[in-house]
């Protein structure tokens, strides 16, 4: 049974993310570990139901659970280490809409499970043991949130105070407002009621953050910070009320944090290589691959152009809340973001997604590979993750989304005309590939 995508298990609650599935995964986890795991969830209405089923599965295989209740992903990583649990599990669908949910699993060191471990769990789901009646696991409620906030505040060094607007979309990111208040910043919150429904698209991108941008402008704030559903990601508005492009922000924070090596993904911009003094190692898309490359290479920072960043000296779990505090520290130590971003070289980057049913993705990718050979002039073709075409003056990546029914196109060039030309050709390639597959 194949369950895991690039970022854990995810789907629609009415369709494939059911209590039965959560319970099976719970049983598999209980068979995989020996004693203790942490479980938490984001603010979705299906969260409690799924978490009860998951916990019952874990307990039925004789393993104890610390129930953390509603927490962001970074606090799952933190609590797992603090409680010396063998795994941390969060019920979340990250940036997907409210009708979605999913399960993401973390190791005791805060890194996400690797593919091998996921396969082992999938195997146990087919063949497991339940505990006898005397050894059924129990559940305790505990919170490490206070400890987490104190620890972030201790790590961040500010000489001045800033006017910060936090937009958590009514999800788990409200923790950021506590962190910034305790750092001495003046905080204004937006969409900060986790009991309400999500108030905007949860992906912290330019389209979804227009309200935050307006509030930053109207209140003359220094910065706006937004998160996705489980707050492993960050999106930032500068003091001019402008969204700071993901690739630019990734280059700035990498430069600020890293003295050794940065890990990023095949869809990240060339800006990184041009702007940084340290080497950039590229891995497959997804924070799981980034975390494992960081561990393997002992790199000192890793980030994806989706605003998912890992600070390994802090923790191996992507942490949007720590990331937001670190961006404010960068402003404090260097310059305002609106000034800093002007120093980053400009490229034209396009990210597009085209609908593609999950079951067609593999065939579409094969077809894209052959169409690309016919239609593009290029120097290099890389198929580590999707199809990446590289030439002297552009690159383009065709890659099926691991979490949604889309095929993604990412492309970049220093020339606007080139970008327009490659964009048109690339969209045609995906559409023709889709048409050719019945």
For residue 74, the minimal CB distance to Mg ion (Å) is 10
Q: What strands, in cross-sheet order, belong to the sheet with 301-304? A: 280-283, 262-265, 301-304, 308-310
For residue 174, the minimal CB distance to Mg ion (Å) is 15
Identity of the residue, 104 or 292, whose beta carbon is nearer to Mg ion in the bound complex: 104
Size of the site for Mg ion (CB under 5 A): 4
Site for Mg ion in 187-216 (CB under 5 A): none
3-state DSSP of 326-356: HHHHHHHHCCCHHHHHHHCCCCEEEEEEEEC
**Cβ atoms within 10 A of the Cβ of 300, count?**
18
CA atoms within a 13 Å half-sphere pointing along the CA-CB vector of 424 = 5
- Is 94 a binder of Mg ion (CB under 5 A)? yes
CA end-to-end span of the chain = 25
Q: Select the span of 46-54, 89-97, 151-159, 410-418 touching Mg ion (CB under 5 A).
A: 89-97
Identity of the residue, 96 or 269, whose beta carbon is nearer to Mg ion in the bound complex: 96
Identity of the residue, 168 or 239, whose beta carbon is nearer to Mg ion in the bound complex: 168
Kindly give, in sequence order, each residue whose CB lies less than 8 Å from that of residue 410, ignoring residues fewer than 6 positions away.
267, 349, 350, 351, 352, 396, 397, 399
Distance CA 303, CA 250 (A): 7
For residue 203, the minimal CB distance to Mg ion (Å) is 9
Q: Where are the alpha helices (DSSP H) in 164-305?
A: 175-182, 210-218, 246-257, 271-275, 287-297
For residue 424, the minimal CB distance to Mg ion (Å) is 32
Q: Which helix (H) or strand (E) holds 235?
A: strand 235-237
Identity of the residue, 137 or 318, whose beta carbon is nearer to Mg ion in the bound complex: 318
Q: Is 356 exposed, middle or buried (0-12, 13-18, 19+ CB in 10 A)?
A: buried
Identity of the residue, 307 or 312, whose beta carbon is nearer to Mg ion in the bound complex: 307
**Residue 182 phi, psi (nearest 5):** -75, -15
Identity of the residue, 228 or 329, whose beta carbon is nearer to Mg ion in the bound complex: 228
Q: Select the span of 17-25, 92-100, 134-142, 145-153 touching Mg ion (CB under 5 A).
A: 92-100
For residue 229, the minimal CB distance to Mg ion (Å) is 6
For residue 319, the minimal CB distance to Mg ion (Å) is 11
Q: Select the span of 227-235, 254-262, 295-303, 360-368 touching Mg ion (CB under 5 A).
A: 227-235
Q: Select the span of 93-101, 213-221, 274-282, 411-419 touching Mg ion (CB under 5 A).
A: 93-101
CB 276 within 8 A of CB 261: no
- Of residues 118, 167, 232, 300, which one binds Mg ion by CB under 5 A? 232
- Is 319 a binder of Mg ion (CB under 5 A)? no
Identity of the residue, 230 or 261, whose beta carbon is nearer to Mg ion in the bound complex: 230
- Is 230 a binder of Mg ion (CB under 5 A)? yes
- Is 85 a binder of Mg ion (CB under 5 A)? no
Strand partners for 388: 382, 397
* Nearest residue to Mg ion on Cβ basis: 94
Identity of the residue, 31 or 79, whose beta carbon is nearer to Mg ion in the bound complex: 79
Distance CA 434, CA 59 (A): 45
Q: Select the span of 90-98, 139-147, 154-162, 215-223 touching Mg ion (CB under 5 A).
A: 90-98
CB 182 within 8 A of CB 145: no
Choosing from 94, 111, 258, 264, the catalytic residue is: 94
Q: Which helix (H) or strand (E) holds 64?
A: strand 64-70
CB 58 within 8 A of CB 130: no
- Is 111 a binder of Mg ion (CB under 5 A)? no
For residue 92, the minimal CB distance to Mg ion (Å) is 7
Q: Select the span of 26-34, 201-209, 224-232, 416-424 touching Mg ion (CB under 5 A).
A: 224-232
- Of residues 228, 261, 287, 300, which one binds Mg ion by CB under 5 A? 228
**Residue 114 phi, psi (nearest 5):** -90, 175
94 has catalytic annotation = yes
Q: Indicate which residues carry an active-site annotation.
A: 94
What residue ranges bind Mg ion (CB under 5 A)? 94, 228, 230, 232
């Amino acid at each position: 049974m194949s369950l895991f995508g690039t970022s854990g298990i995810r789907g629609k609650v009415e369709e494939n993310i059911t209590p039965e599935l959560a319970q099976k995964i719970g049983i598999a986890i209980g068979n995989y570990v020996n004693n203790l795991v942490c479980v938490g969830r984001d603010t979705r209405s299906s969260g409690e139901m799924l978490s009860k089923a998951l916990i019952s599965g874990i307990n039925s295989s004789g393993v104890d659970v610390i129930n953390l209740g509603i927490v962001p992903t970074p606090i799952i990583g933190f609590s797992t280490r603090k409680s010396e649990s063998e795994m941390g599990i969060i019920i979340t669908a990250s940036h997907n809409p409210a009708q979605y949910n999913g399960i993401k699993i973390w190791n005791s060191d805060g890194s996400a499970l690797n593919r091998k471990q996921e396969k082992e769990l999938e195997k146990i789901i087919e063949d497991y043991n339940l505990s006898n009646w005397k050894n059924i696991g129990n559940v305790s409620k505990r919170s490490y949130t206070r400890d987490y906030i104190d620890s972030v505040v201790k790590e961040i060094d500010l000489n001045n105070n800033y006017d910060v607007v936090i937009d958590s979309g009514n999800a788990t990111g409200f923790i950021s407002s506590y962190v910034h208040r305790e750092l001495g910043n003046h905080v204004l919150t937006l969409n900060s009621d986790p009991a309400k429904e999500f108030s905007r698209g949860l992906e912290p991108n330019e389209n979804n953050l227009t309200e935050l941008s307006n509030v930053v402008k109207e209140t003359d704030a220094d910065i706006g910070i937004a998160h996705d559903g489980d707050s492993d990601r960050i999106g930032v508005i500068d003091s001019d009320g402008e969204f700071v492009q993901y690739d630019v922000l990734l280059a700035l924070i990498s430069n600020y944090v890293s003295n050794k090596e940065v890990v990023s993904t095949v869809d990240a911009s060339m800006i990184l290589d041009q702007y940084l003094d340290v080497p950039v190692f590229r891995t497959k898309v997804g924070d799981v691959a980034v975390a494992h490359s960081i561990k393997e290479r002992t790199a000192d920072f890793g980030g994806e152009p989706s605003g998912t960043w890992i600070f390994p000296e802090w923790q191996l779990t992507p942490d949007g809340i720590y990331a937001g505090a670190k961006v404010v520290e960068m402003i404090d130590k260097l310059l305002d973001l609106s000034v800093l971003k002007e120093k980053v070289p400009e490229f034209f980057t396009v990210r597009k997604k085209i609908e593609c049913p999950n079951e067609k993705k593999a065939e579409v990718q094969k077809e894209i590979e052959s169409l690309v050979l016919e239609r593009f002039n290029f120097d290099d073709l890389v198929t580590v993750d999707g199809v990446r075409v590289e030439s002297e003056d552009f690159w383009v990546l065709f890659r099926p989304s691991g979490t949604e029914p889309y095929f993604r196109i990412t492309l970049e060039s220093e020339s606007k005309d080139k970008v327009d030309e490659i964009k048109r050709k690339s969209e045609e390639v995906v559409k023709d590939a889709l048409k050719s597959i019945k």
